Structure 1
Amino acid sequence: MRKVLYQRLNREAALGLVLSLCLLLCSGVFAVSLLGGYLLPDHSLALRLALAILPATLAVTVARWLFVVNPLPRGIVLAPDEALRFRRVVGRLCDQLRVPMPDRLLISNDLNAAVITRPRHGLWGPMESVLVVGLPLLQSVNPRQLQAILAHEIAHLGRQRAGDKAWSAHFRAWWLRVVDRIDNCPDIISRLVSVPLRPFSDRFVLSLLELSHLEEFEADAVAADMVGAEALAEALIEVALKAQILDAATWLVDPGRIVSGDAVGPSGLLDDGHRDALRELRGVLCTAELLDEPGPELHPALGDRLAALQVGLHSLIEEAPSAAHCYFRKLLPSLQLRFDSAMPMSLAAA
Structure 2
Amino acid sequence: MRPSCCAPSRLGIVYARLAARLTLAAGAGFLLFMLTCAGGLAAAAWGFYQGWEAGAPQTRAAWWLGALAALFGVRHVLGLSLLPVPGPRGIPLSHEAAGALRYRIDEVGRRLSVPPLDGVWITDEMNAAVLQRFSRGRIETHMMIGLPLAHCLSRRQFLAVLAHEFGHLVTQRQGFGARGACLRAWWLRVAEGVATRHPALAPWLDRRFRRYTLGMLRLSRLEEFEADAVAARLVGRRLLGEALIEVSEKDRFLREDYWPKVLAQCESAPEPCIRPYRDMGLGVAAGFHAHSVLHAGFCGSEAEDAGALHPTPADRLRALRVPTGEAVPPERSAAVHYLSALLPQLSWAFDRHWWNFAGRSWRRAYRQARHALAADDEPK
Secondary structure at 2:141 match in 1: strand
Moved more, 286-295 or 301-310: 286-295
Query: Structure 1 residue 87: deviation in Å?
Result: 1.9
- The 5-angstrom pairing of residues 1-350 of structure 1 reads 1-31=14-44, 33-34=46-47, 36-38=48-50, 41-42=53-54, 43-52=58-67, 54-121=69-136, 125-161=137-173, 164-186=176-198, 191-192=200-201, 194-247=202-255, 249=256, 257=261, 259-260=263-264, 265-267=275-277, 270-279=280-289, 281-283=292-294, 285-286=296-297, 288=299, 292-294=303-305, 297-314=308-325, 316-342=327-353
* CA distance 1:264–1:242, shift in 2 (3 Å): farther
Q: Within 2, Cα distance between the matches of 1:269 and 1:50?
A: 65
Looking at structure 2, the residues matched to 278 and 295 of structure 1 have their Cα atoms a distance apart, in angstroms, of 30
Gaps of 5+ in 1: 344-350
Distance 1:37 1:255 in 2: 67
**Cα deviation 1:323-349 (Å, max 9, x = unaligned):** 101100001111112223339xxxxxx
What 5-or-longer segments of structure 2 have no aligned partner? 1-13, 266-271, 355-380
Look up the equivalent residue of 2:198 and give its one-letter code. P
Distance 2:138 2:117 in 1: 13
- Tell me the secondary structure at the aligned position of residue 104 of structure 2: helix
The aligned residue for residue 348 of structure 1 is none
What is the SS of the residue equivalent to 1:327? helix
CA distance in 2, matches of 1:342, 1:295: 34
CA-to-aligned-CA distance 1:38-79 (integer Å, 9 cap, x gap): 458425354235434653443233222111122213211112
Q: Show CA shifts across 1:297-326 (max 9, x none).
A: 522111111110112335531221111011
TM-score, normalised by the number of residues in structure 1:
0.83
Contact 2:20 / 2:176 at 8 angstroms: preserved in 1?
A: no
The residue type equivalent to 1:278 in the other structure is F
Structure 1 residues 312, 61: CA separation in 2 closer, same or farther (over 3 Å shift)? farther
* Residue type of the alignment partner of 1:270: M
CA distance in 2, matches of 1:337, 1:67: 37
Percentage identity across paired residues of the two chains: 32
Letter in 2 for 1:60: R
Structure of higher CA gyration radius: 2
Stretch deviating more after TM superposition (145-154 or 98-107): 98-107
Q: Secondary structure at the match of 2:331?
A: coil
The answer to whether the 8 Å contact 1:102/1:130 transfers is: yes
Query: SS state of the match for residue 342, structure 1?
Result: helix
* Bigger mean CA offset, 295-304 vs 131-140: 295-304
Q: Would the aligned equivalents of 1:233 and 1:309 in 2 still touch at CA under 8 Å?
A: yes
Q: Which secondary structure does the structure 1 equivalent of 2:133 belong to?
A: strand
Are the equivalent residues in 2 in contact too, given 1:117–1:127 (CA < 8 A)? Answer: yes
- Distance of aligned partners of 1:21 and 1:291 in 2 relative to their CA distance in 1, 3 Å threshold: same
Cα separation, 1, equivalents of 2:349 and 2:210: 41
Give the whole-Å Cα distance in 2 for the aligned partners of 1:322 and 1:337: 19
**TM-score, normalised with respect to structure 2:** 0.77
Task: Indicate how the Cα distance of structure 1 residues 255 and 146 shifts in structure 2: closer, same or farther if over 3 A, else same.
Answer: closer
RMSD: 3.1
SS at match of 2:280: coil
**Equivalent AA in structure 1 for residue 286 of structure 2:** D
Paired residues, number:
331
Structure 2: distance between partners of 1:49 and 1:172: 38
